[in-house]
Structure 1
Amino acid sequence: MRDWLRRRLRAGYERLLSREVDGAPEHVAVIQDGNRRYARERGGEATDGYQAGARTTEEMLDWCADLGVEELTLYAFSTENFERPEEQQEHLFDLLTEKLHEFADADRVHDRRVRVRAIGETDRLPPRVQHAIAYADRRTRGYDGFTLNVALAYGGRAELLGAARDIAHAVQSDDLTPDDVTVDEIQARLHPARVRDVDLIIRTGGDERTSNFLPWHANGSEAAVYFCAPYWPEFSKIDFLRGIRTYQAREKSWQRARLERALALVRAFGSAELDDARAIIDRLRTHTTIDLPDEEPAD
């Protein structure tokens, strides 16, 4: 009876959150933390946690499709993970190889035209993982319905360092001048597959840090960050909806700040500009969901 009631309450809360969410971020990036702790607290091996986390990853793809997210990046294996025990690494490599093949062959991936690609120093990975990456890339090349980036052997500092070295060599060989080094030029050298700016970073497992994840794409766009307690295998659609709600609150805060600055400028106009100022305020009210004050610019 209790389990039934709990499920009903969760289903009702999920529907409530779904109604509160209006739209979705274009690009969500996830730090999938807590797999090992999840397994340890249940008396299992780390490998059990990774298997359970893989099931959450599959569900996450469905949630993104349901809510209209266009790009998802998963932090599957960092450069720091090479320091883990070899047995754990080998299991992760086996699991990554298996899942990349599964995604590449899944009907729902092809029905939804999901582009699957890897970002990171993938040449550091074992051949079986590299072959699986190439297979997924080949099977989904040209798809544009949704983008799934799998960050493998990835480190944000290493990515920026590689781009900086590439540009330095280009300048040294006269292929570029210092004035040619623009945001677009750096972006083009981060990874051959262009990754759009991140709107929302989610980290599970309770830690409140972004761990060297997509610094160029997230910090440059001032992405919203949602830290939550559930381990990745426990992460639910309710948690995802809460994260999107955090993103939307951040967006509304930015919108209000911009409008308040605009109104301050309008109020500073002299009496000769009152008609134009009123027209500006009317346009702002028309194009925003934020309630604006009814006061008019001061005479």
Structure 2
Amino acid sequence: METEAESVPALLKLLRILVYFLRKLLWRVLSVGAIPKHIAFIVDGNRTYAKKKNLDDEASYRAAFTALLFICKYCSELGVKHLTFFAFSIDNFRRTPQQIKCVMDLLLEKTQLLLKEENLVKKYGVRVIFVGNLQLLNEPLRLAAEKAMAATAGNSKIIISVCVAYKSSNEIVCAIQKSCKHQLNAESCALKMPKMRPSKSIKLVHLQKYLSMSVVPNPNILIRTSGETRLSDFLLWQTTNCLLYSPAALWPEIGLRHLVWAILNYQRLYPYLERKKDQV
């Protein structure tokens, strides 16, 4: 006869199955409206969470990574193709060496795990892109990031951009420099071949292609946790026509309800956002 202790795992399994089908039903209902192609996240509130739960930095960052995995899972089930996470700003290098080391070590650990599980990543069609000044990263992490991008380059079901050592103002300055360099090279060629007449002005469309985030479409929704409403130098160029959502939850506390609420608000404002996009 089955004991009470033996029945608990079976009950938990049944509960997980029930939750899964309820989530599938929720996605079906949401799919009646417009589904965002790209959702970006400012991962905020990890240190506050650590203080709130009396955790050390490493434990809070691991909780943050678990939250990130659940968000990726939910978005993949719903059909959101592009996800972007602001993991570490250039300004964050001003933090204590211990805090920087915790983040870098965790990023290295998870990137190496991704490389180890390459077949599983290919099965689910996950492509990972690291965006930012990767030269600022320590060599092991930078090499692992480059290997991960090369290993997943052929995948396209869901594309995850990780902004690390990133600032939007730095991205824009670098794009201007590259655009000017291209223009100078074009003018140099025109001197040798007079029939070539490059434009003397730098147009927005030319500048945009040199942005490091140009590999993905502009986000439809930007979510910043911990109730903050600042962009903090993140995707300044790309968020001109984007829904901003700032739940009070700290990043490790973010869950399904926050994602659903953001999407419902996006669907409510979708006609207005599309009209604004057409006016650009």
Task: Indicate the TM-score class for this superposition, using the shorter chain for normalisation.
Answer: 0.7 to 0.9
Aligned ranges 1:40-119 → 2 under 5 Å: 40-106=51-117, 108-119=120-131
Corresponding residue SS for 2:67: helix
Distance change (3 Å), C-alpha of 1:182 and 1:244? same
CA distance in 1, matches of 2:142, 2:157: 24
Aligned to 2:205: 184
CA distance in 1, matches of 2:166, 2:82: 18
Aligned to 2:272: 253
Q: For structure 1, which segment, 55-64 or 96-105, has the greater mean C-alpha deviation from structure 2 after superposition?
A: 96-105
Structure 2 length as normaliser, TM-score? 0.80
CA distance in 2, matches of 1:142, 1:14: 29
Aligned to 1:29: 40
CA distance in 1, matches of 2:72, 2:259: 11
Aligned to 1:142: 154
Aligned to 2:193: none
**Aligned partners of 1:56 and 1:235 also within 8 Å:** yes
Aligned to 1:265: none
**Aligned partners of 2:221 and 2:242 also within 8 Å:** yes
Q: CA deviation at 1:248?
A: 1.3
Q: CA deviation at 1:51?
A: 0.9
Distance change (3 Å), C-alpha of 1:253 and 1:172? closer
**Aligned partners of 2:34 and 2:270 also within 8 Å:** no
Q: CA deviation at 1:20?
A: 4.6
Aligned ranges 1:117-132 → 2 under 5 Å: 117-132=129-144
CA distance in 1, matches of 2:42, 2:209: 24
Alignment of 1:158 onto 2:148: no
Corresponding residue SS for 2:238: helix
Distance change (3 Å), C-alpha of 1:103 and 1:193? farther
Distance change (3 Å), C-alpha of 1:57 and 1:255? closer
For structure 2, which runs of at least 5 residues remain unmatched after alignment?
1-14, 189-196
> What is the letter of the counterpart of residue 97 of structure 1?
L
Distance change (3 Å), C-alpha of 1:229 and 1:15? farther
Aligned to 1:242: 261
1:18-67 CA distance string (max 9 Å, x none): 43553420011000101111111111122221110000111111111111
Larger RCO (CA under 8 A, 6+ residues apart): 2
Q: CA deviation at 1:204?
A: 0.6
Structure 1 length as normaliser, TM-score? 0.75
Q: For structure 1, which segment, 156-165 or 100-109, has the greater mean C-alpha deviation from structure 2 after superposition?
A: 100-109
> What is the letter of the counterpart of residue 245 of structure 2?
Y
Q: CA deviation at 1:181?
A: 2.8
CA distance in 2, matches of 1:98, 1:42: 24
CA distance in 1, matches of 2:52, 2:226: 13
Q: CA deviation at 1:191?
A: 2.0
Over the aligned positions, Cα root-mean-square deviation in angstroms equals: 2.8
